C-alpha cells in the first residue's frame, strides 16, 4: 500500500503537514524540532530560497506579516511578555537550514540569566545543537494541532 503523507520543503527536510499550524499565500508556520523555549516556532517562505535577500518584495511582505500575526498569537498563548524574532541569514550568522526562516520565541523577564544569552543558544556554534534531543513527530503534530485553531481567522488555505 503506498503512503500518501503530505509534505512541504524546509531546506533539505521534508516536513509533514501535520507539523504546520499556519499557512498564508507565500509562507507557513512550523513547530520546531529542537525548540530552545516553549513556543519557539519558525516562519518559512513556501519557496525554497536560502537567504533573505533572495525573497521577492511580495514574499518579504507576506513573511513579515505572517511573523507579526504568529508572534501576536504565540506570545499570548504561551503567556509571554515579549518576543525574540531572529533570522540567522547565512551560515556565517549561524544558519543551519539553508531555507530562509524567522525564529519566533516567546520571552519573559529573567527567562535567561543574561537577556542576550538567547542568541548564543540559537547559534549552533556556541551551543551543541546535536546534543539536543529532537522531538517526536507525534509531539510536534500535537503542538501544531493545539496551535492551528488559534489561526482560523488568518488561514489562507
Nearer to ligand AMP, 94 or 111 (CB): 94
All residues at 6 or more sequence positions from 72 whose CB lies less than 8 Å from its CB, including other chains: none
The runs of H, that is alpha helices, within 86-154 are: 117-122, 137-147
Does 41 sit near ligand AMP (CB under 6 A)?
Answer: no
Nearer to ligand AMP, 10 or 22 (CB): 10
**Residue 40: active-site member:** no
Could you tell me if 16 and 136 are in contact, meaning their C-beta atoms sit under 8 angstroms apart? no
Residues 59-78 that bind ligand AMP (CB under 6 A): none
Does 16 sit near ligand AMP (CB under 6 A)?
Answer: no
All residues at 6 or more sequence positions from 15 whose CB lies less than 8 Å from its CB, including other chains: 7, 8, 9, 30
Separation CA 157–CA 74 (nearest Å): 20
Catalytic residues: 101
Binding residues for substrate are 13, 32, 88, 94-97, 103
Interface with ligand AMP (CB under 6 A): 10, 13, 15, 30, 32-34, 42, 88, 94-97, 124
Amino acid at each position: 500500500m503506498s503512503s500518501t503523507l503530505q509534505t512541504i520543503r524546509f531546506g533539505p527536510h521534508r516536513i509533514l503537514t501535520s507539523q504546520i499550524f499556519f499557512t498564508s499565500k507565500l509562507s507557513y508556520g512550523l513547530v520546531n524540532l529542537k525548540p530552545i523555549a516553549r513556543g519557539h516556532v519558525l516562519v518559512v517562505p513556501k519557496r525554497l530560497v536560502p537567504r533573505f535577500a533572495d525573497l521577492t518584495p511580495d514574499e518579504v511582505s507576506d513573511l513579515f506579516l505572517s511573523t507579526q500575526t504568529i508572534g501576536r498569537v504565540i506570545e499570548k498563548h504561551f503567556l509571554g511578555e515579549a518576543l525574540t524574532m531572529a533570522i540567522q541569514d547565512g551560515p556565517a550568522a549561524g544558519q543551519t537550514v539553508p531555507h530562509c526562516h524567522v525564529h519566533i520565541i516567546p520571552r519573559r523577564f529573567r527567562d535567561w540569566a543574561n537577556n542576550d544569552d538567547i542568541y548564543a543558544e540559537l547559534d549552533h556554534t556556541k551551543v551543541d545543537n546535536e546534543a539536543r534531543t529532537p522531538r517526536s513527530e507525534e509531539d510536534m503534530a500535537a503542538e501544531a494541532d493545539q496551535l492551528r485553531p488559534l489561526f482560523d481567522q488568518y488561514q489562507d488555505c
